[in-house]
A and B are shown apart, each in its own frame.
Chain A
Amino acid sequence: MSDRQQENAVAVGSGRVNPARNGRADGGRVPRIALRDIRKNFGSLQALRGVDLDIYPGECLGLVGDNAAGKSTLTKIISGTYIPDDGTMHLDGEPVRFSGPADARRRNIEMVFQDLSLCDHIDVAGNLFLGREVTRGPFLDRKTMLSEARKMLDALEIRIPRLSSKVAQLSGGQRQAIAIARAASFDPKVLIMDEPTSALAVAEVEAVLSLINRVKATGVSVILITHRLQDLFRVCDRIAVMYEGTMVAERSIAETDLEDLVKLIVGEKDER
């Protein structure tokens, strides 16, 4: 990760349609994740019909498309939830096949699910440490977990007054922040977020967007699915548009605007 800065510099303006097919686009820069010709069928339904995609370190990729375009399916393939029927996946240049979500997580791919996967009846610290509780002897080490949780949240400038309050008592934005902080604390290489802002109030959206920027700044590759197109321009470096199970366009953020994106999403294809 030492050359992250340099990579970030190159990343600007790298978005274009049909990147090189060898998984080593952009003058030898190795994508964090390179997908080639990914296909996935659900019965007779072709959910993905050959998708190519590169994601670089420290980059935020926006994934947009109409409902049922295949965005969730694609991210679930990256996160190991679904196994693709065909196609290859490279992680840092190395070919990988995930056997399941646990496998993907071992390879530092984290996903924040739309439903957040928080336990309402457990406190903030407990949720941050869910499934990897710190124990002393047979007992939970609450003190360590509270102080570590405080550090985790501080690192991302998330402010939650009482870490011993139950998650159910928090606002939607705070809950989203906790889910993101938990995923980020696993030291991910890739962090996938499915609709993180769709259910939030305006001020909370702002907070989550700046949180995404801070996560990105730590060198994590972020994949962001959202229907709020204006959000993309706040955090993304590149936007990929899906249509009916294919990747129809990739745009760097500098070379597109809302109108252009809407056209791409609804299928009024431009001349390319």
Chain B
Amino acid sequence: MTAYTERSQGSPWADFLSEQAQVLSIAFFFLVCVVFFAMTTDTFMTLGNLLNVIRQAAPILIVAVAMTFVIITGGIDLSVGSQVALVNAVAAIALAAGLPWPVVVVAMLCFGALIGLGQGWFVAYQGIPAFIVTLAGLSMLRGIALYLTQGYSIPIKGVPGFFALGRGELFGIPVPALIAIAVAILGYVVITSTRYGRQVVAVGSNMEAARRVGMPARWAIASVYVVAGVASALAGLLIAARLGSGSSNAAVGFELQVIAAVVLGGTSLMGGRGTIVGTILGTLTIAVIGNGLILMHISPFFTQIVTGAIILIAIWLNTRIFTANFRFGFARGNRP
């Protein structure tokens, strides 16, 4: 009887390393950044500063978790920054009009879902590339926010319950950070351990295969934009609660930070491959770099340049050196 030829079973440790290479390399890079800023500045490693970092990273992390889903399907959502701004502005208008804040929160989350559903419909059911649909969304949604506010910042007054979302603390940890952690855990569990998560990975890995085995492939694709919409709305609310105002100029360039965090975390823009752990590390890395450079009193204009360059180099290292090393250095045994 002919038997199957097998690759000799490499050590599980080597398998683990090669599978986790992306996450390990971003974890390493993150630690390098932390050590670097800890040594070059006095204030970086203080509790107050670290809490500040995670408070500011919270909205990015929330949307980055959702963006990981989107990118795993092979899509992209460029409109998240505009969605944040629109929700931010509409929430402020609604609160200024005297609506109770819990109603506003729920309504804004639904609003975000609706925006996402609209974009997802064009992407999944009309076959328009996600890049185009969400680029149009980026322009339109920011435009609507500008039109509604006429470009002014709208102050939010006298809703302490709402402000607590952005400024409060629980067990000494900022509430936005707690919410972000909860979202990240939820995202991790959903993508790794639920049928829906499996569908998201499958459509990103092989759309045709997912369709052939009877998965609701189109719906899976549309749904990730809904997830991104809800996450953006949540981020928009947290920002409004932290700043105590709503503005159409909120979250400019937010989508780039989010996408950078996800890609830095090793999620492939080709779809199929991505991890929430990588996204968390990517987000923290970007937040730490931004924070550290400010503490080093480097010009804020320069910060953007450095952030961009570091992202490029990190991703270059990630794809070129780390992956190649793991692949060749820990190559599994060959067929006999």
> From residue 162 to 207 of chain B, which have CB atoms closer than 8 A to chain A?
189, 193-195, 198, 201-202, 204-206
**Is there contact, CB below 8 Å, between A140 and B5?**
no
B-side residues, CB < 8 A to A, are: 1-7, 9, 12, 15, 19, 189, 193-195, 198, 201-202, 204-206, 208-210, 212-215, 272-273, 332, 335
**Is there contact, CB below 8 Å, between A135 and B201?**
no
**Could you say which of B4, B5, B194, B213 contacts A130, with CB atoms under 8 Å apart?**
B213
A153 (CB) vs chain B CBs: closest residue: B4
**Is there contact, CB below 8 Å, between A140 and B195?**
yes
In the A-B complex, the 8 residue pairs with the closest CB atoms:
A131-B213, A117-B209, A119-B205, A121-B272, A121-B205, A210-B2, A159-B4, A161-B9
Q: Given A165-B15, A171-B7, does the pair A139, B193 have CB atoms closer than 8 Å?
A: yes
Q: Which residues of B contact A171 (CB under 8 A)?
A: 5, 7, 335
**Is there contact, CB below 8 Å, between B198 and A117?**
no
**Is there contact, CB below 8 Å, between B5 and A131?**
no
**Could you say which of B7, B189, B208 contacts A115, with CB atoms under 8 Å apart?**
B208
**Is there contact, CB below 8 Å, between B7 and A131?**
no
CA–CA, A121 and B271, complex, Å = 9
CA–CA, A118 and B80, complex, Å = 32
**Is there contact, CB below 8 Å, between B195 and A133?**
yes
**Is there contact, CB below 8 Å, between A207 and B2?**
yes
**Could you say which of A113, A132, A207 contacts B3, with CB atoms under 8 Å apart?**
A207
Would you give the shortest CB distance from B53 to chain A, in whole angstroms? 32
Q: Which residues of A contact B1 (CB under 8 A)?
A: 157, 210
B204 (CB) vs chain A CBs: closest residue: A121
CA–CA, A158 and B206, complex, Å = 24
CA–CA, A169 and B193, complex, Å = 21
Would you give the shortest CB distance from A11 to chain B, in whole angstroms? 23
**Is there contact, CB below 8 Å, between B15 and A119?**
no
Q: Which residues of B contact A209 (CB under 8 A)?
A: 2
Q: Which residues of A contact B195 (CB under 8 A)?
A: 133, 135, 140
A162 on the interface (CB 8 Å rule)? yes
Q: Given A140-B194, A140-B195, does the pair A121, B201 have CB atoms closer than 8 Å?
A: yes
**Could you say which of A118, A119, A139, A174 contacts B4, with CB atoms under 8 Å apart?**
A174
**Is there contact, CB below 8 Å, between A161 and B213?**
no
Q: Given A122-B202, A140-B198, does the pair A132, B213 have CB atoms closer than 8 Å?
A: yes
B72 (CB) vs chain A CBs: closest residue: A121
CA–CA, A210 and B335, complex, Å = 19
CA–CA, A117 and B273, complex, Å = 17
**Is there contact, CB below 8 Å, between A121 and B9?**
no
**Is there contact, CB below 8 Å, between B4 and A133?**
no
Can you identify 10 A-B contacts, CB atoms within 8 angstroms?
A105-B214, A117-B209, A118-B206, A120-B272, A126-B198, A135-B194, A142-B193, A157-B4, A162-B9, A165-B15
B336 (CB) vs chain A CBs: closest residue: A203
CA–CA, A163 and B294, complex, Å = 48
Other A-B pairs, 16, CB within 8 Å; known A101-B212, A138-B194? A105-B214, A117-B206, A117-B212, A120-B206, A130-B202, A131-B213, A131-B215, A135-B194, A140-B194, A140-B198, A157-B1, A162-B15, A165-B15, A166-B19, A173-B4, A207-B2
**Is there contact, CB below 8 Å, between B3 and A133?**
no
Q: Given A162-B15, A174-B4, does the pair A130, B210 have CB atoms closer than 8 Å?
A: yes
A109 on the interface (CB 8 Å rule)? no
Q: Which residues of B contact A101 (CB under 8 A)?
A: 212
Would you give the shortest CB distance from B211 to chain A, in whole angstroms? 9
Would you give the shortest CB distance from B204 to chain A, in whole angstroms? 7
**Is there contact, CB below 8 Å, between B5 and A173?**
yes
**Is there contact, CB below 8 Å, between B208 and A140?**
no
B189 (CB) vs chain A CBs: closest residue: A139
A177 on the interface (CB 8 Å rule)? yes
**Is there contact, CB below 8 Å, between B6 and A133?**
no
A131 (CB) vs chain B CBs: closest residue: B213
Q: Which residues of B contact A207 (CB under 8 A)?
A: 2-5
Q: Which residues of A contact B213 (CB under 8 A)?
A: 117, 130-132
A120 (CB) vs chain B CBs: closest residue: B205
Would you give the shortest CB distance from A206 to chain B, in whole angstroms? 5
